[in-house]
Structures are given as structure tokens and as C-alpha cells.
Amino acid sequence: MTIKLYNTKTRSKEVFTPIEADRASMYVCGPTVYDRAHMGNARAVVVFDTLYRLLRHEFGADHVKYVRNFTDVDDKINARAAETGRAISDITEETIGWFLDDMGALGALEPTDAPRATNYIDQMIAMIEDLIAKGHAYAAEGHVLFKVRSYSDYGTLSGRSVDDMIAGARVEVAPYKDDPMDFVMWKPSSDDLPGWDSPWGRGRPGWHIECSAMAFDLLGGTFDIHGGGNDLTFPHHENEIAQSKCCGHDFANVWMHNEMLQVEGKKMSKSLGNFFTVRDLLDQGIAGEVIRFVMLSTHYRKPMDWTEKKRDEAEKTLRKWAQLVDGVSAGQADAKFIEFLSDDLNTSGAISRLHELASANERETLAGSLQMLGFELKAEAGVDLSELAAQLHSTRVAAMESKDFSQVDAMKAALAEAGVEVRMSKEGVELDAGPSFDASKLEGLS
Ligand code: AMP
Ligand code: ZN
């Protein structure tokens, strides 16, 4: 099937034509590892996991290379180590473990390669030396800077000119810079900070050079897709492009950017403090699939909010679908559903198609499509809430006669314990599974 993707570079939706006809390659900027991933970080992961799944569906699971890095050298990590007195490697190891667990809970597959920046310092140094030799960079006071004005296409990804950027951005003026636009590829480290020997003295890399070096090492000079959140377009991605192109690499053909997860109209971010982590929600009993479903209900190029209403609807839908596909062996993913996904990841369209399949009781196709989208739904072990509601109602009717309500009270307590909301009236009983619903606690009841 033809896949169309919106390319930030050309500002248009294009037919995706991979460099090699039968395979695809993708690089996505990964997390800086010093803290739990927040829900905004998770959006980027879920979006590109969905693209990865679509590419695997199209080209075969062994024909897609997906690289997502871990930034494990960064001043935010150094600051966290200084605050807590912990070793940097303890912090980064622990955070990488958390990240993989939390993203796994959201149904995200692990990429084919997950390089850590600190394992690619030699490649970064080699690239920086090459850029100096070619006249695109210079060393000054233990720093190496990229000479932005030496690359005439700088700014084309985000569609800004260098002069506009200087006017609009907070570019750092520093004594070692020839031009305020120039950005750091290498900086000196004092003895208490992580550092590596280099031709410019002991130091550490800047953030942008990491991605250029790791992408080159793992994917070569040219690859198909580069992804990340749209907060990275400028300066991070402009800088990656400048470094790689000036080394003579073609770099990425298609640039894809997800929009931000917001809180009351503002980007969710660590620096604004308006974030909650994926782990916060999982600990509240919200299932990973529910978070994934809410993320996918909005197209990746639109901003979105996480709301309780969306969570509630996702829970209801997934519970219904889980019952439908229970015990069904998954068939092929539905063709129309794949068509939606192939249209620049139209996930909301794909979900509306899943609703159609559910209404038409096409269980095998629904199961196969859900699986392809990363949902492994399990029906809640034989618990039918409508049956339990009828049972509670008749027990209550009998108790009104006998005036012995002990059995009714015991059932209500068991339901509450299992996270079910109970509403009773003369007409009947309504049971609603809440966010902490745990069906296993009801096994003795029916
Ligand atoms: P960071 O750790 O902040 O460098 O971000 C890691 C990844 O998460 C990048 O691809 C960011 O673009 C993405 N990201 C950060 N905040 C958000 C947000 N609020 N919504 C969506 N993606 C985000
Ligand atoms: Zn990057």
C-alpha cells in the first residue's frame, strides 16, 4: 500500500519512497535520561512506535531499522547528580530502565537500536575534526563551535532565515564565539564533570552532535525518516542537518514532527513544571493501553490535551473491544484501517474504522487490527458486570423481604474493593467499572 507522510522539509504530504525499495530506516530523537518520562515524552514515543509498526507491516518486521538514542551526557544530568550526590551512571542506568518499562507499558516496541551517546564519543570527535578541516567549525578556549554562516541552507527546515533567528531566538552570546548564531559541538569539562580526552582538551560533546554522529554510525550518510517533537525543529534539527550536510552526508529524506501534548494550552514540559509522568498514571491504575488509545485518538500533527473525559471514553471502548476479541484468534489487519494509517498516520480515522468493525462484529479482523496498532487486549477473566448487577438486584429484592441485608452489604463491599461503582434503586442496579477496576477481585462472586 502507498504510504504518505507529511514532510516538514517540504511542508507537504508526500508519497513515501524509501531509499531501498524493500526496506525503511528511521532515526528518532530520544530522551535525556535524568528523570521519569512525562506524558509529553510519551506522545512522541507512541507516535513513532505507530509509524514503526506501519513500516513493519509494509516492509516486513526484519526490513525496518529504527534507531532511538539515549542522551546520557547532559548538564541536566550533571545537575541532578550534584543535587542528589548520586553517581551519574546510577542516575542514567536507573532512568533508562524506567523509560523502557514505562514505554513498554504503553505497548511501544523497543527500537532495533538504542544507542547511548557516551558510547559514541569517538565518532563525535571524528565528525567535529572533519568539520574543522572543511572550514565549517573552529576551536576557541577549549570549545568547538559550528560556523552557522558557513552553511547557506541553514534554517530551511523550519523556514527561517539566520537573521530572523538571531532577532527572534535567545541566542547565547559568548566571548569564544565569532558569531552569536554559532553553536557548541564540544565544550571543556572541569575535573568534577564527565569528560573525555580530545584534540581540544578534556571535554564533553554538545547535544546536537550526538544525533548526527549516532545516525551516521548506525544508518549511514543517508536514511529515510527522521522524527521528533516539533519543539526540536529549531534549533536541534537545524543543527543536526547543518553538521551532517557539511560532513558531506545527505542525511534524512523525510522529517516528521509530532505536535505537543499540552496542559491548558501550554506545552507539557519539565521546565514549566506542568507535567505528570506516565508512571503517575500507571500507579493510579490507568492501564497503559488506555493512555496509548487516548494519544492515538488525536492526529499527531495536532496539539492535544490529556483529559479525564478522554480517559473515561477510552476505558469504556477498550473494555467493550476486549470482550469482543476474547478468545478470538487474530486475523489480518483490516485493509481500510491500514489505508487510514498509511495516510500520514491518520490514527483517529483508523480508530473510527475499528468502531465500524466492532459494530459489524468482525471479531477476527478487529483483533488483528488492534494487535497491529499495539493493543493486546485481555477480557476481564469471565466477569460480566451486567450479570452481577442482575444478581445484586435479586439479592436486594429478597433482602427487602427477609430484612437481612448482610449478603447485599457483602456484595457491595466486594464490588467497591474491586473498583466498581454501585448505584442501586428500586428499578435495578447499575454497575460501572472505575479506573482502578480489578476483575480478579470479583472471581468468587458470580
Ligand atoms: P526531551 O527529553 O525533553 O529532550 O524530549 C524527548 C522527546 O519528547 C522529544 O522528541 C521531544 O520533542 C518530545 N516531547 C517533549 N515534550 C513534549 C510534549 N509536551 N509533547 C509531545 N512531545 C514532547
Ligand atoms: Zn536529535
What phi, psi does 434 have (nearest 5°)?
-85, -175
182 and 205 within one domain: yes
Asked if residue 16 is part of any domain, the answer here is yes
Calpha distance 47→252 (Å, rounded): 18
The radius of gyration computed from the CA coordinates of the chain, to the nearest angstrom, equals: 26
Question: Could you report the per-residue pLDDT of 369-418, keeping only the tens digit for each?
Answer: 999 999 998 876 556 777 888 899 999 999 999 999 999 999 999 999 88
- Model pTM? 0.88
| Domain termination site, one of 320, 343, 372 | 372
Lowest mean pLDDT among 34-38, 336-340, 376-380: 376-380
Q: Which ligand is nearest to the CA of 27?
A: 2
∠ Cα 56 52 60 (to 5°): 10
Residue 168 has pLDDT above 70, yes or no: no
Amino acid at site 123: Q
User: Which whole-number Å values give the CA distances from 161 to 146, 169, 253, 351, 369, in the listed order?
Assistant: 17, 12, 21, 40, 44
Asked if residue 164 is part of any domain, the answer here is yes
CA of 44 to the centre of ligand 1 (A): 6
232 and 169 within one domain: yes
- Tell me if 129 sits within 8 A of 84, measured CB to CB: no
93 and 21 within one domain: yes
- Mean predicted confidence (pLDDT) in 10-34: 98
| Domain termination site, one of 318, 347, 372 | 372
Asked if residue 379 is part of any domain, the answer here is no
User: Which whole-number Å values give the CA distances from 220 to 31, 143, 247, in the listed order?
Assistant: 22, 27, 12
Question: Could you report the per-residue pLDDT of 190-220, keeping only the tens digit for each?
Answer: 999 999 999 999 999 999 999 999 999 999 9
As a whole-number percent, the residues of the chain with pLDDT over 90 amount to 83
Task: Work out the pLDDT band at 161, boundaries 50, 70, 90.
Answer: confident
278 and 183 within one domain: no
Range of the domain at 155: 4-258
Q: Which ligand is nearest to the CA of 226?
A: 2
Query: How many independent structural domains does the chain possess?
Result: 3
227 versus 387: the higher-pLDDT residue is 227
Pairing of strands 222-229, 251-258: parallel
What phi, psi does 379 have (nearest 5°)?
-70, 150
CB of 227 within 6 A of ligand 1: the answer is no
- Mean predicted confidence (pLDDT) in 68-85: 97
Pairing of strands 261-263, 304-305: parallel
Residue 176 has pLDDT above 90, yes or no: yes
Question: Could you report the per-residue pLDDT of 310-333, keeping only the tens digit for each?
Answer: 999 999 999 999 999 999 999 999
Closest ligand 1 atom to Cα of 270: 3
Q: Which of 231, 240, 270, 274 to mutate to test the pocket of ligand 1 (most atoms within 8 A of CB)?
A: 231
Supply the mean pLDDT for the chain. Answer: 94
CB of 256 within 6 A of ligand 1: the answer is no
User: Which whole-number Å values give the CA distances from 365 to 46, 281, 331, 353, 368, in the listed order?
Assistant: 22, 30, 5, 11, 5
431 and 364 within one domain: no
Task: Work out the pLDDT band at 442, boundaries 50, 70, 90.
Answer: confident
CA of 43 to the centre of ligand 1 (A): 8
